[in-house]
Amino acid sequence: MKIMVEENKPVTTETSEKSVVVEMKNLKKSFGEKKVLVDISLKIYKGENLVILGKSGTGKSVLIKCIVGLLEWDEGDLILFGQNVSNLKRNELSEIRKK
Ligand X SMILES: Nc1ncnc2c1ncn2[C@@H]1O[C@H](COP(=O)(O)OP(=O)(O)OP(=O)(O)O)[C@@H](O)[C@H]1O
Interaction site with ligand X (CB under 6 A): 31, 34, 36, 54, 56-62
Q: Is 61 in the site for Mg ion (CB under 5 A)?
A: yes
CA atoms within 13 A on the CB side of 69: 18
81 is in the binding site of which of Mg ion, ligand X, none (Cβ under 5 to 8 A by kind)? none
Opening angle at CA 51, ends 83 and 49, nearest 5: 65
Q: Which does 31 bind (CB under 5 to 8 A by kind): Mg ion, ligand X, none?
A: ligand X
Specify the residue, 28 or 60, whose C-beta has the smaller distance to Mg ion.
60
> Smallest distance from the beta carbon of 60 to ligand X, in angstroms?
4
Nearest residue to 18 (alpha-carbon basis) of 44, 50, 42, 51: 44
Residue 30 main-chain phi, psi, to 5 deg: -125, 155
> Which residues would be at the binding site for Mg ion (CB under 5 A)?
60-61
